Chain A
Amino acid sequence: MGGTGDAGRPPEPVRSDWPLYEVFLRGKRGLNHVHVGSLHAADPQMALHHARDLYTRRNEGVSIWVVAARDITASSPDEKDPFFDPSGDKVYRHPTFYDIPDDVPHM
Chain B
Amino acid sequence: MTTAPTSGQNGAGPELPAGFEDTIRRGRRIEPRDWMPDAYRSTLVRQIAQHAHSEIIGMQPEGNWITRAPSLRRKAVLIAKVQDEAGHGMYLYSAAETLGADRADLTGMLISGRQKYSSIFNYPTLSYADVGVIGWLVDGAAICNQVPLCRSSYGPYARAMVRICKEESFHQRQGYELLMTMMRGSAAQRAMVQDATDRFWWPSLMMFGPPDDQSPHTAQSMAWGVKRHTNDDLRQRFVDMTVPQAEKLGVTLPDPLLRWNEARGHYDFGPVDWAEFKAVVSGNGPCNTQRMAHRKRAHDDGAWVREAAAAHAAKARRPA
**A residues touching B (Cβ–Cβ < 8 Å)?**
1-8, 11-12, 14-15, 17-18, 20, 22, 35, 37-43, 46, 53-54, 57-58, 69, 72, 74, 76-78
Which of chain A's residues have a CB closer than 8 A to the CB of B38?
none
Which of chain A's residues have a CB closer than 8 A to the CB of B159?
37
Which of chain A's residues have a CB closer than 8 A to the CB of B303?
4
Known: A15-B104, A57-B83, A77-B33. A4 touches B306 (CB 8 A): yes
Q: Is the CB of A57 within 8 A of B103?
A: no
**Cβ of B112 < 8 Å from any Cβ of A?**
yes
Which of chain B's residues have a CB closer than 8 A to the CB of A7?
105, 108-109, 112, 114
Q: Is the CB of A39 within 8 A of B90?
A: yes
Which of chain B's residues have a CB closer than 8 A to the CB of A54?
87, 90-91
Which of B2, B102, B314, B316 has most A Cβ within 10 Å? Answer: B2
Q: Is the CB of A74 within 8 A of B112?
A: no
Which of A20, A41, A46, A72 has most B Cβ within 10 Å? Answer: A20
A8→B302 CA distance, assembly (Å): 18
Q: Is the CB of A37 within 8 A of B94?
A: yes
Which of chain B's residues have a CB closer than 8 A to the CB of A17?
310, 313-314
Which of chain A's residues have a CB closer than 8 A to the CB of B103?
2-3, 40
Count residues of chain B with CB under 8 A from any CB of chain A.
47
**Cβ of B309 < 8 Å from any Cβ of A?**
yes
A18→B93 CA distance, assembly (Å): 15
B142-167 at interface with A (beta carbon < 8 Å)? 156, 159-160, 167
Q: Is the CB of B312 within 8 A of A74?
A: no
A13→B102 CA distance, assembly (Å): 15
Complex: chain B residue closest to A2, CB-CB: B103
Which of chain B's residues have a CB closer than 8 A to the CB of A76?
33
CB B79 to nearest CB in A, in angstroms, measures 12
Cross-interface CB contact of A38 among B2, B86, B316, cutoff 8 Å: B2
Q: Interface SS of chain A: helix, strand, loop or mixed?
A: loop
Q: Is the CB of B306 within 8 A of A20?
A: no
CB A98 to nearest CB in B, in angstroms, measures 31
**Cβ of B62 < 8 Å from any Cβ of A?**
no
Known: A15-B104, A72-B1, A74-B33. A37 touches B306 (CB 8 A): no
Q: Is the CB of A42 within 8 A of B312?
A: yes
Known: A38-B97, A40-B103. A4 touches B91 (CB 8 A): no
Q: Is the CB of A42 within 8 A of B108?
A: no
Q: Is the CB of A20 within 8 A of B307?
A: no
A15→B32 CA distance, assembly (Å): 23
**Cβ of B268 < 8 Å from any Cβ of A?**
no
A20→B91 CA distance, assembly (Å): 13
Cross-interface CB contact of B2 among A1, A18, A22, cutoff 8 Å: A22
Which of chain B's residues have a CB closer than 8 A to the CB of A2?
93, 103-104
**Cβ of B255 < 8 Å from any Cβ of A?**
no
Q: Is the CB of B84 within 8 A of A69?
A: no
Q: Is the CB of B160 within 8 A of A8?
A: no
Which of chain B's residues have a CB closer than 8 A to the CB of A37?
91, 94-95, 156, 159-160
A99→B3 CA distance, assembly (Å): 44
8 closest A-B pairs (Cβ-Cβ)?
Answer: A7-B108, A3-B104, A17-B310, A42-B309, A43-B313, A42-B313, A77-B33, A37-B94
